[in-house]
Amino acid sequence: MKKNDFLFEIGTEEIPAGYIGSAVNKLKDSFIKDLNELKLEYQDIFVYSTPRRLAIKIIGMDSTQKNETIEKIGPSKKASHDENGNLTKAGDGFLKSVGGKEEEIYFIETSKGEYIAIKIFLEGKATMTLLPQMMKNAIEKIAFPKTMKWGSGTVMFARPIRWIVALADDKILNFEYEGVVAGRKSYGNRYVGLDSHIKVLNVNQYPEILKEVKVLAHREHRRESIKSQIIEYSTHKQRPISGIDEKLLDIVTDLVEYPTAVKASFSRKYLDLPSKIITSTLSQNQKYFTKLDKDGNLDNEFYFVSNGDPAFSETIKIGNEKVVKARLDDAQFYFYEDTKKSLEQYVEKLDEVVFHAQLGTMLEKTERIVAMCNHLSDILFTPNKLFPKNNNENDLLISTNEQKKEDVLRAARLSKADLVTLMLSEKEFTALQGYIGMNYAMISGEKHEVAKAIYEHYMPRGHQDDLPSETIGAVLAVADKLDTICGIIGVGLLPTGSADPFAIRRAANGIVQIIDKYNFDFSLKCLIEKSFSYLAQKVDLKESLARTTQIVFVFFRQRIKWLLEEFYHIEYDVIEALDIFEWDKLIDIKNRAIALQDFKSQAMSQHSAIDTEVSTNFRILVLGFKRVSNILEKNDTDFTLNPAYLKDKSELILYHNMQNIQSEIKPLVSEMKYREALEKIVTLGTDIDIFFDKVLVMTDDVCLKNNRLALLKEIRMMFLKIADISKINFEG
């Protein structure tokens, strides 16, 4: 069959960098879906993108669909024909729907009886006639966070569509979208001129021909070009940037069409500022790359990537340096003015900043955080009461814990003070909250541990962010995030769908990650109730206190499931097996889940003789327990087990082994050693299996029946101390 190459380019005004990656993936996915549905084969697909274009190239695509003969099955013979063999309305309707003739009908036998059928010949269509609809589908399936209309049109897109290239080999496809007629004319980099177009004579010329008008359409080539140009500036004595910020590199790649890296610098006097103030100015605000000197300290040189004419790089550099100087002048002024006062002096000013209209000011939030930190410290930093009172080690422990509590409370008091400094209140450096507080705390003479906790209590700021590195910051982070979560949900602003304006999902994720990292033995329900007790004077609850507490608790339960799935790869059925518990203590649930998941995974892998034995025993155990659960679900009993009624050898063995295992696993469960407990229980699987083979549970003897049901109930209760393993699924 003849093959075609296909090119489709959507030319636009500059699309925001953050939109491009997702858009080009949607473009590709749409074509792949349509090609598969239309049964058109192809050899390869390539996608290209710049701020002004989204493009796809398909190589070796079928020029036509294959001819097909398909069988269409209609209604049953009884429904399609009357007693005289004539077509009924149902039969005639079927014929009309498939475009068939009565003489083409035949009968087929199915499991439900005889049905009418007809074979339809479908002639394959030329791909050229199918592509216009595929292109239209692709444009309409590209989704953006924000869209716009332009002119008198009704189409919504990230930015106005200005041109379209649509070619099959060297032929222009007949396609028009919102008044833009497809052709072979593409446009180049703006600095070459707004009319700097190029004619793509055939598909194979793309994207190489665009280089003539200063466009690198291949995103990865553009990215590597930026990276290599920056690295070229370094010497053996100096290191370029701190390993190159990959996220920033991705953003810059989507901001330019023809990158030229330029080295620039700022006055060394600004290096007296905390380094993140400078890197925030350059990296976050200006999208410039900073550099470290040979000693690993921030250097005054930086790199920016120009999309303009390389011949004017020096002029562009001067302009960029002026912008940086102005921003750093501001930062330096804010810094020197702020540090004329201690960080403590800013705390009372927090009364002028509203946290939330219904939740009070930032000063009130700070007071709640301090109260919660005091409560958490009493839980975590209580000395081990098993030490004798005159033991020197106990004295040292008391001293250490008292110091930790003092540091936590001091950090809590100062945690939000930087929000009312010039550096943050002027909105120039809002991303540095916490970092500014840490630096100002150290300048004010606060302890290193206190200053670090002020910085770390905002962690984690996102999915891949670090967690607090020390206990003080971890406790403060939990207190702050919990106050936000309970407050926001308390006033009825529980997140819905993808909308989470107060980022309380992220806050809850942070809490469960911190509890997990530090093995904090917290009762979540108690913490939530305590948080609401501090909010009582502020929050006009939309629901009752008990109902609101439960809503927050369920919200945390969802985040714990997220933690188990995301970080420990716990499967859905293992999580379901733990739904019988309250999930009040995260560490307990995590230990149960890991133990059960390990057993399930081992049971499904069978890599060794030992694994095979575990696999067999665990599978037998799960199947036996499912049977126990099913019987009890239909025949629950309040009868108390009487060992004297145990007559059959198999039920006696099962009973005695169960008794032994119960005594063995009791201390293991109390110490959360669930793997060891499962290793004990798994041996009971064979006994349960033999019991069901040898004994009739639902016997006519009522006493025997009830006693056997009571035995099964005891077994079930023993199992449920660890998990409801009847939920475990070995399929798929």
Q: Produce one character per residue of 407-416: b if its CB has 16 or more CB atoms within 10 Å, e if not.
A: bbbbbbbbbb
Q: φ and ψ at 63, to 5 degrees?
A: -80, -20
Q: At what angle do helices 545-568 and 586-605 cross, to 10 degrees?
A: 40
pLDDT computed for residue 610 by the predictor: 47
pLDDT computed for residue 603 by the predictor: 81
Q: What is the mean pLDDT of residues 584-611?
A: 83
CA distance 716 to 628: 7
Which of the four pLDDT bands, split at 50, 70 and 90, describes residue 254?
Answer: very high
Which of the four pLDDT bands, split at 50, 70 and 90, describes residue 620?
Answer: confident
Query: Does 203 score more than 80 pLDDT?
Result: yes
Q: Are 514 and 467 in contact (CB under 8 A)?
A: yes
pLDDT computed for residue 393 by the predictor: 52
Residue 691 neighbours by CB under 8 Å, 6+ apart: 650, 651, 654
Across 256-260, 280-284, 319-323, least confident range = 280-284
pLDDT computed for residue 184 by the predictor: 96
Which of the four pLDDT bands, split at 50, 70 and 90, describes residue 328?
Answer: very high
Q: What is the mean pLDDT of residues 381-396?
A: 52
pLDDT computed for residue 608 by the predictor: 46
Q: Could you read off the pLDDT of 172-190 as tens digits, one per residue?
A: 999 999 899 999 999 999 9
CA distance 554 to 525: 10
Which of the four pLDDT bands, split at 50, 70 and 90, describes residue 237?
Answer: very low
Residue 538: what residue type? K
Q: What is the mean pLDDT of residues 467-483?
A: 97
Query: Does 660 score more than 60 pLDDT?
Result: yes
What is the residue-averaged pLDDT of the chain? Answer: 90
For 136-197, the DSSP string reads: HHHHHH---SS-B--TT----BSS-EEEEEEEETTEEP--EETTEEPBSEEE--GGG-TT-E
pLDDT computed for residue 513 by the predictor: 97
Query: Does 323 score more than 90 pLDDT?
Result: yes
Q: What is the mean pLDDT of residues 649-663?
A: 93
Across 71-80, 272-281, 347-356, 592-601, least confident range = 71-80
CA 84 to chain centre: 64
Angle at 81 between CA 78 and CA 87, to 5 degrees: 155
pTM metric for this prediction: 0.81
Q: Are 688 and 715 in contact (CB under 8 A)?
A: yes
Q: φ and ψ at 59, to 5 degrees?
A: -105, 140
3-state SS assignment for residue 262:
strand
Q: What is the mean pLDDT of residues 461-473?
A: 91
Residue 468: what residue type? P
pLDDT computed for residue 240 by the predictor: 47
Q: 684 is written with which tokens?
A: 């009971």
pLDDT computed for residue 396 by the predictor: 54
Q: Are 192 and 206 in contact (CB under 8 A)?
A: no
For 654-683, the DSSP string reads: HHHHHHHHHHHHHHHHHTT-HHHHHHHHTT
Query: Does 242 score more than 60 pLDDT?
Result: no
Across 187-191, 236-240, 278-282, 432-436, least confident range = 236-240
pLDDT computed for residue 238 by the predictor: 52
Query: Does 113 score more than 90 pLDDT?
Result: no
Q: Are 189 and 214 in contact (CB under 8 A)?
A: yes
**Between 189 and 81, whose confidence is greater?**
189
Q: Could you read off the pLDDT of 546-575 as tens digits, one per residue?
A: 999 999 999 999 999 999 999 999 999 999
Q: Please name which of 175, 182, 213 lies closest in space to residue 197, comparing C-alpha atoms.
A: 213
pLDDT computed for residue 633 by the predictor: 85
Which of the four pLDDT bands, split at 50, 70 and 90, describes residue 460?
Answer: very high
Query: Does 103 score more than 70 pLDDT?
Result: yes
CA distance 275 to 283: 12
Query: Does 267 score more than 90 pLDDT?
Result: yes
pLDDT computed for residue 592 by the predictor: 97
Across 382-391, 432-441, 465-474, 546-555, least confident range = 382-391
Which of the four pLDDT bands, split at 50, 70 and 90, describes residue 110?
Answer: confident
Q: What is the mean pLDDT of residues 184-206?
A: 93
Task: Count CB atoms within 10 A of the CB of residue 146.
Answer: 8
Residue ranges with strand state E in 208-337: 260-265, 289-292, 298-306
pLDDT computed for residue 413 by the predictor: 98
CA distance 481 to 501: 15
User: In DSSP terms, which residues pair with 298 in a beta bridge?
Assistant: 292
pLDDT computed for residue 236 by the predictor: 43
Q: Please name which of 655, 644, 639 lies closest in space to residue 710, comparing C-alpha atoms.
A: 639
pLDDT computed for residue 387 by the predictor: 39
For 498-535, the DSSP string reads: TB-TT-HHHHHHHHHHHHHHHT----HHHHHHHHHHHH
CA distance 261 to 306: 6
pLDDT computed for residue 395 by the predictor: 55
Across 33-47, 333-347, 587-601, 606-620, least confident range = 606-620
Q: Please name which of 713, 691, 698 lies closest in space to residue 639, comparing C-alpha atoms.
A: 713
Q: What is the mean pLDDT of residues 457-473?
A: 93
pLDDT computed for residue 317 by the predictor: 96
CA distance 125 to 36: 14
- Write the secondary structure of 209-249 as one string of H (helix), E (strand) and C (coil): HHHHHCCCCCHHHHHHHHHHHHHHCCCCCCECCCCCCHHHH
Task: Give percent above pLDDT 70 in the chain.
Answer: 95
Which of the four pLDDT bands, split at 50, 70 and 90, describes residue 80?
Answer: confident
pLDDT computed for residue 292 by the predictor: 86
Query: Does 398 score more than 70 pLDDT?
Result: no
